[in-house]
């Protein structure tokens, strides 16, 4: 007999529909799995065979062939155990094929028939909804994650027996959960920052336009403290952004049993010893890296100059294209990487420059230290800020004069202007403008072109850096509520390109 069930294979952060076909016929008894399978899927035949036996069902000594189609798509992970078991049972006559229509399965089987949770249920549920399936059956611990898409029937089961009861028409005791968003934890507030008005201004501009930012200052000047408060002034996640971010965390196995759609922008701060694979993503079973986990949020690289040079260099493509393609022998997959880069570093090996009373580093030593970050990477950073140490008066003067909610309101007003301006386009912020779009949305007057000409030669700008100054000026104009970019906006934006010892 022939039977067919459906599951899905994870590709990047999306899922592709997979047909699980089973044929039971006379011949030498055995179970064969085919269809471009990873080792963990090939091992499923032993888990499935024993799980069916321990469920109380004895399969006849027949030749069983299971094909996972399409055969040119690599199948990885343990989520195919359940659909394979159901297909075999239906082909063996224990289930009617009719009860499998419009049902998608995903789950790992233990030898005793228990269903274990798997990663990537959210994109699998999205695939089920997109392909018109009315029912999704997953392990109980994945039920709430699968219900986030609004699919009508998402059933969670503890054992293979429970799945068979549902397919036989018995209503499950546990009801599906409603759509919800995750808990939003309290965030550090900018009101805790004493002084540092210039740094707060630069952060406000960076967040308002989605620009990348580099802090340079001595140890203890407050660089990390400032960076950790950036998410508190970022606009709320849209439903589209929340769903994409939740998919990334689902594929990574970071969605908890009771969590809903991620509602808080991420703040990822990997240690400077991180490997290239952990930063970019990949592995034997490809998973998103830190740059993808930081999507729609902040990727904070503290001690920027201490990261391995090759690890920093791999940021170049994602910072431009806002995605990363991970290529491996088994194939390639794309992960989102639309993050705001915030980096912090010391100005010199001892960290005290430009205080010559303390710093004894020579100018060549300072140049050598700062040149650990290549010019192509520096060109992709929009704002450079020298963070000065806090004075005694600022430190003892009490809390800051503005809290995060006040700054956030101004940021949201600027973002709303950008949303209206770029309506119908794929971009959301000024930082995403292409060179061609700059001519349309950021025209400069004669005086403005003279300012940019002077900045181009004074700072020895590349074409990329030149365009980034105009993008930052566009954001400053949005914060001021100005329709046109004025000279003062360009002057302030150009000032953020200046770095010590250039």
Give 253-285 pLDDT, tens digit per residue: 888 766 678 889 999 999 999 999 899 987 777
Residue 182 lies in a domain: no
Based on the domain organization, do 163 and 195 belong to the same domain? no
Residue indicated by tokens 């995060």: 404
Q: At which of 134, 167, 200 does a domain end?
A: 167
The values of phi and psi at residue 336, to 5°, are -65, 150
Q: How far apart are CA 239 and CA 261, in angstroms?
A: 9
Q: What is the DSSP string of 285-312?
A: TTEE-HHHHTTTSEEEESSGGGS-HHHH
Quote the domain boundaries for residue 310: 190-495
Q: At which of 152, 167, 182 does a domain end?
A: 167
Based on the domain organization, do 137 and 194 belong to the same domain? no
Based on the domain organization, do 236 and 323 belong to the same domain? yes
Based on the domain organization, do 37 and 155 belong to the same domain? yes
CA dist 99 → 102, 440, 446 (Å): 9, 57, 72
Residue 282, H or E segment: strand 281-282
Question: Above 60 in pLDDT, residue 180?
Answer: no
Residue 175 lies in a domain: no
Based on the domain organization, do 332 and 255 belong to the same domain? yes
Based on the domain organization, do 313 and 194 belong to the same domain? yes
Based on the domain organization, do 220 and 95 belong to the same domain? no
- Number of domains present in the structure of the chain: 2
Both tokens assigned to 491: 């002057």
CATH number, domain containing residue 13: 3.30.230.10
Residue 178 lies in a domain: no
Average pLDDT taken over every residue of the chain: 90
Q: What is the pLDDT of residue 500?
A: 47
Residue 306 lies in a domain: yes
Residue 33 lies in a domain: yes
Based on the domain organization, do 122 and 256 belong to the same domain? no
Residue 184 lies in a domain: no
Q: How far apart are CA 188 and CA 183, in angstroms?
A: 16
Q: How far apart are CA 431 and CA 385, in angstroms?
A: 18
Q: What is the pLDDT of residue 502?
A: 46
Based on the domain organization, do 222 and 161 belong to the same domain? no
Based on the domain organization, do 209 and 99 belong to the same domain? no
Q: What is the pLDDT of residue 46?
A: 93
Instruction: Determine the average pLDDT of the residues in 37-60.
Output: 92
Q: How far apart are CA 352 and CA 348, in angstroms?
A: 7
Stated pTM of the model: 0.88
Please give the torsion angle defined by the CA atoms of residues 168, 100, 257 and 117, in that order, rounded to the nearest 10 degrees.
Answer: 100
Task: Output the CA torsion sign for 131, 135, 138, 144.
Answer: positive
Q: Are strands 14-25 and 2-11 parallel, antiparallel or unpaired?
A: antiparallel
Q: How far apart are CA 416 and CA 422, in angstroms?
A: 10
């Amino acid at each position: 007999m022939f039977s067919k069930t459906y599951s899905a294979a994870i590709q990047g952060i999306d899922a592709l529909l997979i047909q699980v076909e089973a044929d039971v016929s006379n011949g030498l008894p055995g179970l064969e799995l085919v269809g471009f399978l990873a080792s963990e899927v090939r091992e499923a035949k032993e888990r499935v065979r024993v799980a069916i036996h321990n469920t109380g069902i004895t399969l006849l000594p027949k030749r069983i062939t299971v094909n996972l189609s399409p055969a040119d798509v690599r199948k990885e992970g343990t989520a195919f155990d359940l659909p394979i078991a159901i297909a075999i049972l239906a082909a063996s006559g224990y289930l009617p094929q009719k009860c499998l229509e419009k049902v998608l399965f995903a789950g790992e089987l233990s030898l005793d028939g228990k269903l274990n949770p798997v990663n990537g249920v959210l994109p699998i549920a999205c695939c089920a909804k997109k392909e018109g399936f009315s029912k999704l059956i997953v392990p109980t611990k994945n039920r709430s994650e699968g219900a986030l898409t609004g699919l009508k029937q998402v059933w969670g089961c503890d054992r293979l027996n429970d799945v068979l009861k549902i397919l036989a028409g018995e209503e499950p005791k546990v009801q599906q959960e409603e759509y919800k968003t995750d808990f939003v934890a309290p965030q550090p507030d900018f009101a805790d920052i004493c002084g540092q008005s210039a740094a707060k201004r630069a952060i406000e501009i960076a967040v308002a336009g989605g620009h990348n930012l580099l802090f340079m200052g001595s140890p203890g000047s407050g660089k990390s403290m400032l960076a950790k408060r950036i998410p508190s002034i970022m606009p709320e996640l849209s439903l589209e952004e929340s769903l994409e971010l939740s998919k990334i965390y689902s594929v990574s196995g970071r969605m908890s049993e009771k969590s809903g759609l991620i509602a808080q922008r991420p703040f990822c701060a990997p240690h400077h010893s991180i490997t290239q694979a952990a930063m970019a993503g990949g592995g034997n079973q490809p998973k998103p890296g830190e740059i993808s986990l930081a999507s729609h949020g902040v990727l904070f690289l503290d001690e920027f100059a201490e990261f391995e040079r090759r690890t920093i260099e791999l940021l170049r493509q994602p910072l431009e294209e806002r995605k990363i393609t991970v290529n491996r022998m088994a194939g390639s997959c794309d992960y989102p990487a639309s993050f705001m880069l915030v980096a912090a570093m010391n100005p010199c090996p001892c960290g005290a420059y430009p205080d010559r009373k303390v710093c004894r580093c020579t100018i060549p030593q300072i140049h050598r230290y700062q040149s650990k970050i290549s010019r192509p990477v520096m060109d992709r950073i929009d704002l450079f800020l020298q963070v000065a140490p806090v004075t005694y008066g600022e430190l003892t003067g009490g809390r800051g004069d503005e809290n995060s909610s006040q700054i956030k309101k101004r940021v949201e007003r600027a973002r709303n202007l950008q949303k209206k301006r770029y309506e119908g386009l794929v971009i959301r912020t000024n930082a995403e403008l292409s060179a061609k779009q700059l001519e349309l949305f950021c025209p400069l007057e004669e005086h403005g072109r003279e300012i940019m000409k002077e900045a181009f030669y004074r700072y020895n700008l590349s074409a990329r850096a030149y365009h980034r100054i105009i993008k930052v000026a566009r954001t400053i104009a949005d914060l001021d509520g100005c329709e046109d970019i004025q000279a003062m906006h360009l002057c302030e934006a150009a000032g953020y390109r200046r770095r010590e010892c250039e």
